[in-house]
């Protein structure tokens, strides 16, 4: 941001209001035919144009807000005599003019990023972060490992080298022997194969007691983002040969993996298939109803969308991948609180990791700073007891 903002005095500008509100997470709808990177570039350009169109310099403030006390200017230049001796003292200072200093906001002034983009063959929900708050929320959402839902359309009968319809043609096959029952069986086999994979990616033995307790707490999520894609659900929702539509629930996937999945299903059915379209319907707690269409990519609608999405970013929705907030959260905290009250010596296995505790404290402080309601008093007291337990364990370890 240019230093000329220091010249604006105490005038309350709409520019400052919008710039302060453009700070958080929002959702856009990406159309096919353009990559996510290109869509974000166009979105950032629209945000810059919207901010720079607002009054920022003195002559713009006088024009839009009639602030005659902060700026004196000549109303009718034709009435000014063309002699040096009669030049009035109210001539405008062009050293602070927009045409001299340039735009108020530059590209580097706006931080805009996205999570898990989709390629140009895909459309649907894309989660974006704007400003410092948006950057922090994107990191939390990435840690939460939200489940993504897709509608993947395919077509039997031929194959290409890139698994999409515009690739180089490889071969043509028959598909008359394929029915919906066979397709459902192949989808069920793929889903069951990934059920074991989800425990492996979570770092536990699928046949252990730990795996049972992990599954009883809810969705088993991978330990990090570098694991192989995991399918949590896949079923055929439409079958009109040669076209079909699959509903896929997955984590750590990308568009190319889903296109290859369609190709592999075609091979399993002794045929071939290509992907015709991929549509992301949901990204965790963000669905299509929250997205902004391209015609709504302006600072007014983005500010409204940030406010709407901020209401969804509660601690319960963000801490999905931390043991403290999954499954038996309250039960675990109750047991640990009772051990403090009874004076029992805690063991290291009964206490959560330091990293999880630090993340919880950082999240709680950030929610307070951003105007959210923090954790309840009951939960806060339990968290303080956990800190006491952690201190006792550290003392035992030192001794």
List domains and CATH numbers for the chain: 1-145+297-335 (no CATH), 147-283 (3.30.2350.10)
CA distances in angstroms from 223 to 318, 320, 361, listed in the order given: 15, 12, 21
Please tell me the distance from the alpha carbon of residue 267 to that of residue 253, in angstroms, as a whole number. 20
- The residues facing 273 across adjacent strands are 156
Residue 339 has pLDDT above 60, yes or no: no
Does 203 or 88 have the greater pLDDT score? Answer: 203
Residue among 310, 332, 349 at smallest CA distance from 385: 332
pLDDT of residue 60: 63
Distances (CA, A) of 255 to 4, 267, 280, 303: 45, 19, 10, 29
pLDDT digits (tens, 9 = 90+) for 220-272: 888 777 788 999 999 999 999 999 999 999 999 999 999 999 999 999 999 99
Give pLDDT, residue 368.
56
Token pair, residue 335, equals 């047991």
Structure tokens at 157: 């009968």
342-381 pLDDT, tens digit per residue, is 544 444 344 444 444 555 566 556 555 555 554 555 455 5
DSSP 215-231: HHTS----SSTTSPPEE
pLDDT of residue 54: 76
Tokens encoding 138: 């994107």
* Number of C-beta neighbours around residue 193 at 10 A: 10
Residue 152 binned pLDDT confidence (cut-offs 50, 70, 90): very high
Taking the CA atoms of 293, 299, 302 and 308 in sequence, report the sign of the dihedral they define.
negative
Look up residue 149 and give its DSSP letter. Answer: E
- Tokens describing residue 152: 């993947």
Distance, CA of 25 to CA of 37 (rounded, Å) = 17
CA angle 304, 114, 122 (to 5 degrees): 100
CA–CA dist 110, 113 (Å, integer): 10
- In angstroms, the CA 136 to CA 363 distance is 10
Tell me how far apart the alpha carbons of residues 24 and 369 are, in angstroms, rounded to a whole number: 13
User: What pLDDT, on the 0 to 100 scale, is given for residue 177?
Assistant: 95
Is the confidence at residue 29, as pLDDT, over 90?
yes
In the block, tokens 């750590």 appear at 252
- Give the Cα separation of 118 and 106 in Å (integer): 27
Is the pLDDT at 280 greater than 90? The verdict is yes
Task: Count CB atoms within 10 A of the CB of residue 128.
Answer: 26
């Amino acid at each position: 941001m240019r230093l000329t903002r220091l010249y604006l005095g105490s005038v309350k500008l709409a520019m400052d209001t919008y710039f302060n509100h453009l700070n958080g997470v929002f959702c856009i709808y990406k159309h096919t035919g353009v990559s996510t990177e290109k869509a974000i570039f166009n979105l950032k350009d629209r945000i810059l144009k919207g901010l720079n169109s607002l009054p920022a310099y003195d002559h713009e403030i006088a024009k839009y807000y009639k602030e005659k006390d902060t700026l004196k200017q000549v109303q009718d230049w034709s009435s000014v005599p063309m002699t040096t001796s009669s030049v009035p003292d109210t001539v405008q200072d062009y050293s602070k003019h927009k045409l001299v200093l340039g735009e108020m906001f530059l590209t580097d002034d706006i931080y805009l990023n996205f999570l898990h983009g989709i390629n140009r063959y895909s459309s649907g929900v894309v989660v974006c972060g704007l400003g410092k708050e948006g950057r922090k929320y994107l990191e939390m959402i990435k840690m939460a490992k939200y489940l993504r839902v897709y509608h993947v359309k395919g077509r039997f009968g031929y194959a290409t080298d890139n698994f999409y319809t515009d690739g180089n043609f490889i071969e043509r096959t028959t598909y008359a022997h394929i029915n919906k029952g066979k397709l459902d069986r192949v989808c069920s086999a793929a889903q069951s194969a990934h059920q074991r994979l989800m425990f492996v990616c979570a770092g536990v033995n699928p046949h252990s007691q730990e795996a049972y307790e992990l599954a009883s707490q809810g969705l088993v999520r991978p330990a990090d983002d570098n694991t192989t894609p995991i399918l949590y659900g896949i079923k055929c929702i439409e079958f009109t040969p040669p076209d079909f539509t699959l509903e896929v629930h997955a984590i750590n996937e990308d568009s190319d993996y889903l296109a290859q999945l369609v190709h592999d299903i075609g091979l399993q059915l002794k045929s071939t298939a290509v992907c015709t379209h991929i549509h992301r319907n949901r990204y965790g707690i963000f669905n299509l109803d929250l997205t902004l269409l391209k015609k709504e990519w302006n600072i007014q609608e983005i500010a409204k969308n940030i406010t709407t999405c901020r209401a969804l970013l509660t601690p319960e929705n963000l801490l999905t991948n931390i043991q403290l907030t999954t499954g038996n959260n309250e039960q675990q905290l109750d047991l640990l609180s009772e051990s403090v009250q009874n004076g029992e010596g805690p063991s290291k296995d009964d206490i959560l990791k330091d990293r999880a505790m630090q993340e919880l404290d950082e999240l709680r402080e950030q929610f307070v700073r951003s105007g959210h309601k923090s954790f309840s008093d009951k939960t806060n007291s339990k968290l303080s007891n956990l800190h006491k337990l952690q201190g006792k364990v550290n003392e035992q370890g030192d001794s």
